[in-house]
Structure formats: C-alpha cells, structure tokens
Chains A and B, each alone.
Chain A
Amino acid sequence: QQQVKQSPQSLIVQKGGISIINCAYENTAFDYFPWYQQFPGKGPALLIAIRPDVSEKKEGRFTISFNKSAKQFSLHIMDSQPGDSATYFCAASKEGGSEKLVFGKGTKLTVNP
C-alpha cells in the first residue's frame, strides 16, 4: 500500500518558469511533511517542511502549499534554475517527524537553460 503518492514522475521546465510537484497522502495521523532534494550519487537533503496547522510555507524560491481536507500538499519552485535539476521527494511522518518517513516515489526535475 503506497501511503504517499507523488506526481508527476518527471518534469521539464524552462529556466525562470515555475515547477510544481504534487503529493497526496492517506494516513490522517501524519503530522509532518518534508520535501527532500537529491542529486545523483548524493543523499537526500531537506529542502523545506510543513506541519498541518499552516496552509503555506515559503522559504526563498520554494513554497509548500498544504490542503488538509484534501490530504494533499505541493512544492512550488519559483524562477526555476538549471541548478535546481534534481530528484525531489515528498515524505510524511507521524509524531512530528520523530517516526519513520514515508516517501513518495520521486519527481525528476530538469530545468533547461
């Protein structure tokens, strides 16, 4: 049973465009939703995270939008740059993140110059 569904599987945008990646979860006990960025051959790096008591969180060019009733959350990358080309994973966890992370299958983002 896949508890976190991520789409699209791959995404190509032009430099300066907006990249949008969506995730949906099933378990209403999840209360911590991080996004990780992974470059080839590297470990995942935390990008931004949100808790369900807020509907949006912004850090620089990265924004998480959260819809608790729909059990969906999304990552928006504004002014996308070639250096943003990586695989992005959404995840969910219970107990504020101290329990295991359940990951989506990832989105491979390519930003063309």
Chain B
Amino acid sequence: NAGVMQNPRHLVRRRGQEARLRCSPMKGHSHVYWYRQLPEEGLKFMVYLQKENIIDESGMPKERFSAEFPKEGPSILRIQQVVRGDSAAYFCASSTSMGETQYFGPGTRLLVL
C-alpha cells in the first residue's frame, strides 16, 4: 500500500511566479491536511480538506495561497506570486474518515529565488 505521495519533491521558483504542490493521499483516505515547516521550526497547520470541501483553513495566509481537493485527482496547494518568505518544506498528511492518525508524505521543498 503506497504511502502519501507528494510531487514535486523539490521546486525552485523566482519571485512572482506560481507554485503548485500536489498531494495524493493514501488509498482509502479521504482527509488531507497541509502543513508548512520553516528551517529549524516545527510544522504549522495550513488547511484541512475533504473531497470537494475545505473544512478548516485557519492556518492559510489570506492572500496568494489556495488549496483544493477535487473529487478526482490529487489535492493541490497553490501559491501565487511567490516571495522569498514562502521558501519552506510543505508537507501533506492524510487520514481516514475516522480520523486520528495522520500519515505524512515526504514533503515538497520550495525554494524561491
């Protein structure tokens, strides 16, 4: 059973470009969470989604960031007009509809030049 998959693993963008991060949850998981980790810091919650619904986006910056989890396909975290401060590791986690254990993917490391 494949784990949580994220791609790309590394992404380099110039300031002002768009970044799209993709997350495929574990098979049978319908809940997706996105977290951001700055260097030498813990993980900070960004958004929690179920299929076609955003459940909690209290950790998302109000501008430039958006997330979706369509009926078909992976969850997407989109960052428009990236700035250097967006450089971080972005992790996706998934869980079953019963909740509890969140399983993390390997992360996407975003570098903004």
Contact = CB atoms under 8 A, between A and B. Distances in A.
Contact of B101 (A34, A43, A89, A105): A34
Contacts of B31: 98
A15 to B, nearest CB: 25
Contact of A42 (B93, B98, B106): B106
Interface string A37-63: 000001111100100000000000000
A57 B36 CA distance: 29
A99 B57 CA distance: 11
Contacts of A102: 45
User: Which among B44, B100, B101, B105 has the highest number of chain A CB atoms within 10 Å?
Assistant: B100
Contacts of A46: 101-103
Contact of A44 (B43, B44, B56, B59): B43
Interface residues of B, number: 26
B99 A98 contact: yes
B99 A43 contact: no
Contacts of A34: 101-102
Given A102-B45, A106-B42, A44 B91 contact: yes
Contact of B104 (A44, A49, A96, A98): A44
Contacts of A105: 41-42
B95 interface: yes
Contacts of A32: 100
B48 interface: yes
A101 interface: yes
A57 to B, nearest CB: 14
A49 B33 CA distance: 18
Interface of B: 4, 31, 33, 35, 41-45, 48, 56, 58-59, 91, 93, 95, 98-107
Given A42-B106, A43-B105, A106-B42, 18 more contacts: A6-B42, A34-B101, A43-B4, A46-B102, A49-B101, A89-B43, A96-B99, A97-B95, A97-B100, A98-B98, A98-B99, A98-B100, A99-B48, A100-B45, A101-B45, A104-B42, A105-B41, A105-B42
